[in-house]
Amino acid sequence: MNNYHFEEHHLLLRDQVRKMVEKHVAPIASEIDENNRFPDELVEIFGDMGLLQLWVPQEYGGPGGDLTSVCLVKEEIAKVSESAALLAANNSFGLVLPILNFGSEEQKRHYLGLSAKGRTLSAVAITEPGTGSDVSSMKTRAVKDGDSWVLNGGKIYITFGSVAHFIMVFARTSEGKGANGISAFIVDTRTRGFSYGKQDRKMGIRGVPNVPIFFDNLRVPAENMIGPEGQAFKTCMRILDLNRPTIGAISCGLAQGAIDQATAYARQRNQFGRPIAEFQGIQFMLADMQMQTEAARCMLYDCARMADREEWEGFSAKASMVKCFASDTAMKVTTDAVQIFGGAGYMRDFPVERYMRDAKINQIFEGTNQIQRLVIARHMLRG
């Protein structure tokens, strides 16, 4: 793997994560998927290494990681398990990034200090039965009552919703045009009025709980609102821009893991008296898989470097490009890996069928790839 002008601390982190993955993640990756089990033991391991809280700044007690660090970690873990990779830096999207970018100093001291301990899990609650890409149709309501807001409604497909300690909930606080009038709140899941439903049965990322969640007259202190009232859509978009490259990183990891598996299999699988790796048709497939993945990786770390240098001009479009291209690449590469394995690739005995199932979600969540193409095109057309 090219070093992409990584700094020494990035390379050290990558090497440490590789060793951890080999020791702690690879041995349980298939079992997590087979039993749809949330790997509680990885929370402590990741937390002790600073991986769970990677994006918490040093001034609040965290490792002070940047986007490049987060992407490196997620890519390395995803080479053997996307489910485990999603757990790394889990609290970034639902807690650390929104508070770091839009929170008060008091919120930063409390929540970032708590996250820095490496045991805090979070989730984000946006999607509803009628609200996916169309955020403006959100039905969950928050009504001001004294020094609190009272939430009523529900969300679906909430990743880590049943294990999260805090959830960033988006709710309508006033009627406004489009996405105006939507606010964001940090909800402690121990609060009366919070509940969650049965875990969704999914094609992939098994072991990552996705559940519907419900709010029944749930009271949230007014100081738990993030950013200005009614302006949460802007909060969401900024945080999505920062999080989308991490999906690109997971996609690159999945693709590379599938390539490594397919290459090893092609070397040892014999047909017509010789390894199938000697057949030009297989060689062409492997070459295309590696070229596509390398192109996605180059886009990924160029985008991450932009964020780390705070070069925000055009960053939103670049983040969408990375998420879209890398996830499309992962879907193509993992499918081709299954093809190289032939009938064996369709069996659960080999991890490539799991990689292919996992890859599909990356084209859907954090904004579908159709939405990413709209973001990119609009940026182009604005000139």
Q: Over the stretch 121-158, which tens digit does the pLDDT of each residue have? A: 999 999 999 887 777 788 999 999 999 999 999 999 99
Specify the pLDDT at position 130: 80
Share of the chain above pLDDT 90, in %: 88
The C-alpha torsion from 377 through 379 and 380 to 383, rounded to 10°, is: 150
Specify the pLDDT at position 296: 98
Average pLDDT over residues 356-364: 98
122-230: CATH, from 3.40.109.10, 2.40.110.10, 2.40.50.180, 3.40.640.10? 2.40.110.10
- For residue 14, what are the contacts with CB-CB under 8 A and spacing of at least 6? 6, 72, 73, 76
β-bridge partners, 16:
none
Question: Cβ–Cβ contacts within 10 Å for residue 272, how many?
Answer: 7
CB 77 within 8 A of CB 249: no
Name the band, by pLDDT with cuts 50, 70 and 90, for residue 175: confident
Reading the block at residue 251, the tokens are 């996609």
Give me the chain's average pLDDT, please: 94
β-bridge partners, 220:
149
Specify the pLDDT at position 133: 72
Specify the pLDDT at position 371: 94
Name the band, by pLDDT with cuts 50, 70 and 90, for residue 362: very high
Q: How far apart are CA 49 and CA 98, in angstroms?
A: 23
Share of the chain above pLDDT 70, in %: 98
Specify the pLDDT at position 1: 52
Specify the pLDDT at position 180: 84
Which superfamily does 8-115 belong to? Acyl-CoA dehydrogenase/oxidase, N-terminal domain (1.10.540.10)
pLDDT higher than 70, residue 202: yes
Q: How far apart are CA 2 and CA 25, in angstroms?
A: 24
Name the band, by pLDDT with cuts 50, 70 and 90, for residue 211: very high
Return the HEC string of 111-176.
HHHHHCCCCCCEEEECCECCECCCHHHCCCEEEEECCEEEEEEEEEEEECCCCCCEEEEEEECCCC
Average pLDDT over residues 235-258: 93
Domains of the chain by residue range: 8-115, 122-230, 234-381
Q: Over the stretch 67-124, which tens digit does the pLDDT of each residue have? A: 999 999 999 999 999 999 999 999 888 899 999 989 999 999 999 999 999 999 999 9
CB 204 within 8 A of CB 327: no
Specify the pLDDT at position 203: 96
Name the band, by pLDDT with cuts 50, 70 and 90, for residue 310: very high
pLDDT higher than 70, residue 2: no
Specify the pLDDT at position 345: 96
Taking the CA atoms of 65, 245, 361 and 17 in sequence, report the sign of the dihedral they define.
negative
CATH of span 234-381: 1.20.140.10
Reading the block at residue 348, the tokens are 């659960």
Specify the pLDDT at position 93: 86
- DSSP-assigned letter for residue 50: T
Q: Tally DSSP H helices, then E strands, for the chain.
A: 14, 10
Name the band, by pLDDT with cuts 50, 70 and 90, for residue 287: very high
pLDDT higher than 60, residue 323: yes
Q: How far apart are CA 136 and CA 125, in angstroms?
A: 14
Name the band, by pLDDT with cuts 50, 70 and 90, for residue 249: very high
Residues forming the active site:
366
- DSSP-assigned letter for residue 214: E
Specify the pLDDT at position 178: 67
Long-range contact set of residues 233-239: C-beta below 8 Å, sequence gap at least 24: 233/135, 233/178, 233/179, 233/180, 233/182, 235/98, 235/101, 235/102, 235/184, 236/126, 236/135, 236/170, 236/184, 237/316, 238/101, 238/102, 239/93, 239/97, 239/98, 239/101
User: Reduced to 3 states, what is the DSSP secondary structure of residue 212?
Assistant: strand
